A and B are shown apart, each in its own frame.
Chain A
Amino acid sequence: MELLAQYLGTEVGRMLIGLVGVIALVSVNALFLIWVERKVSAHMQVRLGPMEVGPHGAIQSVADALKLMGKELITPEEVDKPIFWLAPIVVFLPVLLSFLVIPFSQSLIIKDMNVGIILILGFSTLAVLAILMAGWSSNNKYSVLGAIRSVAQNVAYEIPLLITVMSIILMVGSFKLSDIVAAQSGYWYILVQPLAFLLFITCATAETNRAPFDLPEAESELVAGFHTEYSGMRFAVFFLAEYTNMFIAAAVGTVLFLGGWHGPILPGVVWFLLKVYALIFLMMWFRWTFPRVRFDQLITFAWKILIPLAFANLLITALVMKLR
């Protein structure tokens, strides 16, 4: 028993518990978010949403998950099998690993790395690789189009995202996420960097392929985009990855702009989750309000508007920091 406690207290033990916790969080989060999305979209569209399965459709997501698990995993004949099978894994793993550095509260952080924010940004780029793999291996013109769009979109919106994050890092002076949260104990950074927040929300929505930037999976144009050929549990994994990505993006936004877990009375974890879900609600609100941007307008918007704005923001931040 003592040995077990000793073992659990070590670094590895902590990480194992953390990993189990993260997997649990990811699953529950996905189920919860799917239900929230359906309810939010329903009420915005003057209808009710799921009401049958459980009180107010609360266990609808569980029913959907069970259904998806029971579906046949169809693999079309001409696909590039190894890449086709790897793509869902590659899309999901980086997102899962990003959870390592998210500070849920002062003590709830699996591994407080020195390069925390860089880790998350680096892993989020890997998702693009997974989409490319999925689109290419499907041997379907629609999927390839979706994958191409996704790569162009993600690359274009990475840059203003990184520059915006740099503005915040400049103010904090460290890449550690816990340091960034600690630096906001006086006031939240959204108050001094409103432009950066707007840029961040825009880029985060684009990075997670959410509407109005959901061209890679544009239903009305490309049937289902890069995951047209995926069925059953494989499709569920893409879906899961999208919602988890949203959580990570919102978590990063909370840490950078909304003061992380800071907040009166309630425990840090509760505040953190509240802020994260508020940002997620904002992203959902976008989806059900705006039509889709056209592809060339999307890229133009990123390169000609967002990047100059992000650079301007960085320069102003640097200037203000220097003058202090």
Chain B
Amino acid sequence: MIELGIEEKTYTLNLGPQHPSTHGVLRVLLEMDGEYITKAEPVIGYGHRGHEHMAENRNYHQFLPNMGRVDYLHALAYNQGYCMAVEKLIGVTVPERGEYIRVILSELNRLTSHLLWFGAYLLDLGAFTPIMYCFDDREHILDLLDRITGSRLTYCFYRFGGVPQDLDDEFITGVRAFIKRLRSRWPDYDNLVTKNVIFINRTKDVGVISKDQCVKYGLTGPTLRGSGIPYDIRKSEPYSAYPAFDFTIPIGDQGDIFDRYIVRLQEMEQSLRIIEQALDKLPNGPIMAEKVPKRLKPAEGEVYQAVETARGEFGCYIVSQGGIKPYRIKLRVPSFGNLSILPEIAVDTLVADLVAILGSVDVVIPEIDR
């Protein structure tokens, strides 16, 4: 027997922090054996801005803009979570019309987040066209939201007790026209992507997450629902005006990338349903609660408020010790838990698969780093 004396070693490859498909500043340290990954370790913290520390040095109103910067893609849901948590602390109820407006705007924002995910994910897979179509649709929503909130991306619109500005007729007709337009686009997306053999081959049976892993890693959002667990806070722990609407929670069955993709596509359709119903049933009335103090001094206590964002469960945990500044705010972000499963499901996959899996988990790094 001839001994070749060649050592078989794995080599280290660094994916990021500057990389076209890590959706933010994420570094994944890979140990590779040829093209196969033996170990993947995400390294985060490149975008740590100290939001939780800022919370302790600002009063409750001053912390509102921060929420839009935590997850800029679904900022209104974070706005909503924080406002609801504080409203619980100070014991204020939002009037019905205010809640409906919050739901409509948050669902429109969910659509922009999913549309952007859709386009960017396909860009990662190498299809250069869908992102253009998605951004085209997204522009319509951004224009509509801009009319009401004044921002296109990092919203800071909700206030404690309601919303500061009402919807106008042009907005409502615009939204209805947009719903019709987006519904007519679903066949386009299906033909271009969902039925594409190359896409299906790259996403079926890849990145499978089992139900057991979901519980152990505390996954939430479409990442969880793709594995077949129908947990959506809008249905499981209803808040705001969601109990008044009729919508379903799409779930997958296998937990692979394709299931997560279908879940998000169907969620977009469900969001359209919610918006339609909200517009139909929009009640008249005040949009802001009365008697919300200008300087908030909530009583001592703590509160945990969960809302369903495009990525999963956002939990706002506030500890108040009676002062005008919060004593502690913990932002429980969905991407933090969702990303922690990557080392387990990335083993024995190819680099191409890693990019696909990472995209399908839909992480937004700024919310992980806060």
- Give the segment of A244-252, A268-276, A290-298 that binds chain B: A290-298
Residues of A within 8 A of B215 (CB): none
Q: What's the least CB distance linking A43 to chain B, in Å?
A: 11
Considering the complex, which residues of chain A in the window 22-46 have a beta carbon less than 8 Å from any beta carbon of chain B?
41, 44-46
Residues of B within 8 A of A221 (CB): 21, 351-352, 355
Q: How far is the CA of A82 from the CA of B201 in the complex (A)?
A: 41
Considering the complex, which residues of chain B in the window 314-369 have a beta carbon less than 8 Å from any beta carbon of chain A?
350-353, 355
* Complex contact B198–A293 (CB within 8 A): yes
Residues of B within 8 A of A145 (CB): 13, 35, 351
- Specify which of A141, A222, A289 is in contact with B127 (CB 8 Å cutoff): A289
Asked if A288 CB lies within 8 Å of chain B CBs, one says yes
Asked if A135 CB lies within 8 Å of chain B CBs, one says no
Asked if A312 CB lies within 8 Å of chain B CBs, one says no
Asked if A260 CB lies within 8 Å of chain B CBs, one says no
Q: Which residue of A lies closest to B201 (CB)?
A: A297
* Complex contact A220–B20 (CB within 8 A): yes
* Complex contact A223–B35 (CB within 8 A): no
Query: Can you show 6 pairs from A to B with CB atoms below 8 A apart?
Result: A212-B198, A223-B19, A288-B128, A291-B198, A294-B353, A297-B202
Q: How far is the CA of A93 from the CA of B123 in the complex (A)?
A: 33
Known interface pairs A45-B132, A145-B351; A220-B21 also in contact (CB < 8 Å): yes
Asked if A287 CB lies within 8 Å of chain B CBs, one says yes
* Complex contact A223–B20 (CB within 8 A): yes
Residues of A within 8 A of B123 (CB): 220
Q: How far is the CA of A47 from the CA of B192 in the complex (A)?
A: 17
Q: How far is the CA of A292 from the CA of B193 in the complex (A)?
A: 12
Asked if B136 CB lies within 8 Å of chain A CBs, one says yes
Considering the complex, which residues of chain B in the window 75-118 have a beta carbon less than 8 Å from any beta carbon of chain A?
none
* Complex contact A291–B125 (CB within 8 A): yes
Q: How far is the CA of A15 from the CA of B13 in the complex (A)?
A: 49
Chain B CB within 10 Å, residue with most, of A46, A222, A287, A291:
A291
Residues of B within 8 A of A64 (CB): none
- Specify which of A44, A223, A295 is in contact with B350 (CB 8 Å cutoff): A295
Q: Which range contains the number of A residues in contact with the other chain?
A: 20 to 34
- Specify which of A44, A214, A290, A294 is in contact with B352 (CB 8 Å cutoff): A294
Residues of B within 8 A of A142 (CB): 13
Chain A CB within 10 Å, residue with most, of B11, B133, B193, B202:
B202
Known interface pairs A220-B355, A291-B196; A45-B20 also in contact (CB < 8 Å): no
Top 6 nearest A-B pairs (CB, nearest first) are: A292-B126, A45-B132, A291-B127, A291-B125, A220-B21, A220-B124
Asked if B247 CB lies within 8 Å of chain A CBs, one says no
Q: How far is the CA of A292 from the CA of B196 in the complex (A)?
A: 11
Chain A CB within 10 Å, residue with most, of B122, B202, B351:
B351
Known interface pairs A47-B132, A141-B13, A291-B198; A296-B350 also in contact (CB < 8 Å): yes
* Complex contact A218–B126 (CB within 8 A): yes
- Specify which of B11, B35, B128 is in contact with A45 (CB 8 Å cutoff): B128
Known interface pairs A214-B126, A220-B21, A290-B127; A46-B198 also in contact (CB < 8 Å): no
* Complex contact A291–B136 (CB within 8 A): no
- Specify which of A41, A44, A222, A293 is in contact with B201 (CB 8 Å cutoff): A293
Known interface pairs A47-B132, A293-B198, A294-B201; A220-B126 also in contact (CB < 8 Å): yes
Residues of B within 8 A of A288 (CB): 128-129
Q: Which residue of B lies closest to A142 (CB)?
A: B13
Residues of B within 8 A of A45 (CB): 128-129, 132-133
Residues of B within 8 A of A222 (CB): 351
Asked if B199 CB lies within 8 Å of chain A CBs, one says yes
Q: How far is the CA of A220 from the CA of B129 in the complex (A)?
A: 14
Q: Which residue of B lies closest to A141 (CB)?
A: B13
* Complex contact A41–B351 (CB within 8 A): no
* Complex contact B133–A291 (CB within 8 A): no
Q: What's the least CB distance linking B337 to chain A, in Å?
A: 25
Q: How far is the CA of A289 from the CA of B195 in the complex (A)?
A: 12
Residues of B within 8 A of A47 (CB): 132
* Complex contact B132–A46 (CB within 8 A): yes
Q: What's the least CB distance linking A237 to chain B, in Å?
A: 23
Residues of B within 8 A of A241 (CB): none
Residues of B within 8 A of A219 (CB): 20, 126
Chain B CB within 10 Å, residue with most, of A145, A212, A221, A293:
A221
Q: How far is the CA of A46 from the CA of B138 in the complex (A)?
A: 14
Asked if A211 CB lies within 8 Å of chain B CBs, one says yes
Residues of B within 8 A of A297 (CB): 201-202
* Complex contact B128–A287 (CB within 8 A): yes
Residues 177-202 of chain B: 1 if any A CB is under 8 Å from the residue's CB, otherwise 0?
00000000000000011001011011
Residues 125-168 of chain A: 1 if any B CB is under 8 Å from the residue's CB, otherwise 0?
00000000000000001100100110000000000000000000
Q: What's the least CB distance linking A45 to chain B, in Å?
A: 4
Q: What's the least CB distance linking A214 to chain B, in Å?
A: 7
Residues 31-43 of chain B: 1 if any A CB is under 8 Å from the residue's CB, otherwise 0?
0000100000000
- Specify which of B20, B125, B192, B350 is in contact with A292 (CB 8 Å cutoff): B125
Known interface pairs A46-B133, A220-B21, A223-B19; A290-B353 also in contact (CB < 8 Å): no
